[in-house]
Amino acid sequence: MTGPSDGGSTYLLDRAEIPGAERLSVAREHGAYRALEKALRGMKPADVTEAVKASGLRGRGGAGFPTGLKWTFMPPPADPRSRYFLLNADESEPGTFKDRVLLERDPHLVIEGLALASYAIGARTCYVYMRGEFRRPKRIFEAALGEAREAGLLGKDLLGSGFDLEVFVHRGAGAYIAGEETGAMESIEGKPARPRPKPPFPAGHGLWGCPTTINNVETVANVPAIVERGAEWYRRIGTDKSPGNFLCGVSGHVNRPGVYERPLGTSVRAILEGPAGGVQGRLKAFYPGGSSTGILPARHVDVAMDHESLRAVGSMLGTGGITVLNDTACVVRTAAVLARFYDHETCGQCSQCRVGCAWTRALLDRIEGGAGRLEDLDLLLDLGSGMSGGKTICAFADGAAIPLLSAVRLFSSEFEAHVREGRCPFPEEPEA
Amino acid sequence: MSGAPGEVRPLSARLSAPGSAPPPPRTGGASAIAASARFALDPPMREAWERALAPYPERRAALMEILHAVQDRLGFVPREAAEEVARFLDIPDVWVFEVLTFYPMYRTSPGGRHALRVCHNIACDLRGARRLLRVLKERFGVSPGGTSADGAFTLETVECLAACGGAPVVDLDGEYREGMTPERLCEALEPLREGNAP
Ligand SMILES: Cc1cc2nc3c(=O)[nH]c(=O)nc-3n(C[C@H](O)[C@H](O)[C@H](O)COP(=O)(O)O)c2cc1C
Ligand code: SF4
Ligand code: FES
């Protein structure tokens, strides 16, 4: 877990590297809550939103939506309803494991970020939706919340500013779909996490019908640096349209899997050959941003990790988690593993999604098991296109179709080899 | 790839083509929730339930935390507890049952003394999760969804645990064990077997 060795600016994992940074005293020695003090003492909520807007920060939860713009969707302060900030700590996208690092190693950065976000949108209650498996992160994060509250950094009248903020952790219970924004809201209300049709959008009609803004953990972790050092400083990092650093989780067949902080726009090759210590064996393919992004063959290894560059090669930045496959790994098997995942996790409200997930899973299992037929490939493409294009209540179905379609299109010869040989041509266990 | 150009066969016809197994029926529902005489709403449990209400403007929102509290104590949520929760929150039983069966972390029947959850999603699959599952079957006689004969381990396969950098990952009684090998897994489990308990 390290920042760039090339002397670039880091601000996400600096404190996470310091032993004991989960304790308030250590975190404060290393700059925690300076941005919150600055904002509460000298900035109006709208000034904070303005700074974040000017920074160009885009959400790190998968969709890359401009954060400052999202905050302006909240109704004006005159609206009499309660307002909520929801921090998305569900982190369930396969191949994604960055938010957990922040929650465990620098919880005060996350708390400072969520306090700034809540201040900006005028929320006096913040819910942190944390996946149920995160027992350790929850323990550490709640201890940090307690220390912050003791010190007057949360609770009533923060730092004498008149602003109140209560933060509560809501434990999930193992459903990926609860990470979808309105799924998380249903879940907090005590219901199955079935996403809501949009509109209405959460800013107007979120938790209990009240104005709600939701952001990812890593997104808010960017905010203290922006408030403290300014939008202009921030914009110098990363690319024009994708500014800032991001946390890149590298997993699969590399020598040093882990979470690394790099500027957006860094090439996949620089990450794999730099901090990740090189590919084990020969690179065959990679998912650049979690399981809901299109798989890319090795020839794209020089692509830059930013929204625009990845879209240009037919994939997406997603959550910024790179999963690496070497040439002993089977793409069909990986597609089958993901199809099983999506079939297990679909909430079942939309028929395209429910039926599509069940059938793509069955077909991929059949092909991987050696009993597939060539026409199954057309069928997979048909099913995938039926699931994609925004026909469903939420983006889950698109997310399930994207890795499937890209695998069938870009690795059709591998699928055909399974059918021709009547078995999976790869070793049972990839060599790492 | 096949199919005459322009040929359009209805999807349903192609899906039911010979050799394609239909998706398995989904199981679950309130009838799958085990009854147990073990449940009693004692004062510590009632306190935990009361505490769970505090963060929310509506009672119903405390449901998930209350179910966690029951499961943390009993290892699963028996039907009697679910019904008691419904009374406590003043909501219909079915609202409790639907949450209990929607979220996979909740158990509705008792398991073994130790809960073993092996991630079988992409990163773990690429780095040896299958080997772990094989050794669990061979050495401990336990398969996904099952409990070992000595009652020591209940095994589940789970989806990505957000620890892919440490793949393959096993969650043993709520604590992540990263970078697992068959050897290290056996080492961790042997002392927990019946008769080996300290
Ligand atoms: C199926 C599905 C699962 C999602 N899971 C997560 C998640 O675990 N964590 C997260 O931050 N965002 C997740 N998202 C994205 C959220 O809906 C939402 O866009 C995000 O939390 C907004 O935060 P951001 O603007 O800061 O990125 C998911 C989206 C979908 C469609
Ligand atoms: S797309 Fe899938 S997961 Fe999303 S609401 Fe529809 S059925 Fe549920
Ligand atoms: S794939 Fe196993 S922890 Fe992510």
Q: If we measure between CA atoms, which residue out of A430, A394, A429 comes closest to residue A185?
A: A394
Q: How many CA atoms lie within 13 A of A106 on its CB side?
A: 30
Measured CA to CA, the distance from residue B46 to residue B37 in angstroms comes to: 18
Asked if A358 lies within 8 A of B126 by C-beta distance, the reply is no
Q: What confidence tens digit (pLDDT) does each residue in A2-35 have?
A: 445 445 689 999 999 999 999 999 999 999 999 9
Considering only CB atoms, which chain B residues are within 8 Å of A249?
A: 164-165
CA of A186 to the centre of ligand 2 (A): 14
| A87 beta partners | A128, A215
Given a cut of 70, whether residue B28 has pLDDT beyond it is no
Measured CA to CA, the distance from residue A322 to residue A96 in angstroms comes to: 8
Q: Which residue of B has its CA nearest to A260?
A: B165
Given a cut of 90, whether residue A181 has pLDDT beyond it is yes
Q: What confidence tens digit (pLDDT) does each residue in A123-152 have?
A: 999 999 999 999 999 999 999 999 999 999
**A419 Cα distance to chain centroid:** 35
Q: What is the pLDDT of residue A71?
A: 98
Cβ-nearest to B2 among A188, A333, A374:
A374
CA of B147 to the centre of ligand 3 (A): 23
Atom of ligand 3 at shortest distance to CA of A96? Answer: 4
Asked whether B163 lines ligand 3 (CB < 6 A), one says yes
B85 touches chain A (CB under 8 A): no
CA of B12 to the centre of ligand 2 (A): 21
> How far away is chain B from the Cα of A353, in angstroms, using its nearest Cα?
14
Considering only CB atoms, which chain B residues are within 8 Å of A135?
A: 174-175
Average pLDDT over residues A389-407: 97
B94 touches chain A (CB under 8 A): no
Sheet holding A212-216, edge to edge: A166-171, A125-130, A84-89, A212-216
Ligand 3 pocket test, pick from B117, B126, B130, B161 with the greatest ligand atom count within 8 Å of Cβ, gives: B161
Residue A368: pLDDT band (50, 70, 90) is: very high
Given a cut of 80, whether residue B22 has pLDDT beyond it is no
Given a cut of 90, whether residue A327 has pLDDT beyond it is yes
Helices (H) and strands (E) in chain B, counts: 8, 4
Q: Which residue of A has its CA nearest to B11?
A: A379
Asked if A136 lies within 8 A of B176 by C-beta distance, the reply is yes
Q: What is the pLDDT of residue B4?
A: 42
Average pLDDT over residues B70-89: 96
Q: What confidence tens digit (pLDDT) does each residue in A270-312 have?
A: 999 999 999 999 999 999 999 999 999 999 999 999 999 999 9
Q: What is the pLDDT of residue A1?
A: 46
Asked if A192 lies within 8 A of B3 by C-beta distance, the reply is no
Average pLDDT over residues A331-338: 98
Measured CA to CA, the distance from residue B72 to residue B66 in angstroms comes to: 10
Residue A123 token pair? 């929320």
Residue A139 token pair? 């323990």
Residue with tokens 């996350």: A110
Measured CA to CA, the distance from residue A83 to residue A126 in angstroms comes to: 9
Q: What is the pLDDT of residue B5?
A: 41
Q: What confidence tens digit (pLDDT) does each residue in A186-240 have?
A: 999 999 999 999 999 999 999 999 999 999 999 999 999 999 999 999 999 999 9
Q: What is the pLDDT of residue B35?
A: 74
Considering only CB atoms, which chain A residues are within 8 Å of B23?
A: 343, 358-359, 361-362
Q: What is the pLDDT of residue A2?
A: 47
Max CA pair span of chain B: 72
Considering only CB atoms, which chain B residues are within 8 Å of A374?
A: 1-2
Q: What confidence tens digit (pLDDT) does each residue in A27-51 have?
A: 999 999 999 999 999 999 999 999 9
Distances (CA, A) of B11 to A364, B15, B18, B25: 17, 6, 14, 20
Residue B2: pLDDT band (50, 70, 90) is: very low
- Bridge-based pairing of strands B170-172 and B114-119 is antiparallel
Average pLDDT over residues B159-172: 98
Measured CA to CA, the distance from residue A51 to residue A33 in angstroms comes to: 17
Contact A309, A282 (CB under 8 A): no
Residue B122: pLDDT band (50, 70, 90) is: very high
Cβ-nearest to A94 among B60, B128, B160:
B160
Q: If we measure between CA atoms, which residue out of A208, A206, A190 comes closest to residue A198?
A: A206
Measured CA to CA, the distance from residue A366 to residue A376 in angstroms comes to: 9
Percent of chain A with pLDDT over 70: 98
Asked whether A345 lines ligand 1 (CB < 6 A), one says no
Given a cut of 70, whether residue B7 has pLDDT beyond it is no
Among the bound ligands, the one closest to the CA of A357 = 2
CA of A220 to the centre of ligand 3 (A): 24
Q: Tell me the ipTM for this assembly.
A: 0.96
Sheet holding B114-119, edge to edge: B153-158, B114-119, B170-172, B175-177
Predicted TM-score (pTM) of this structure:
0.94
Given a cut of 90, whether residue A405 has pLDDT beyond it is yes
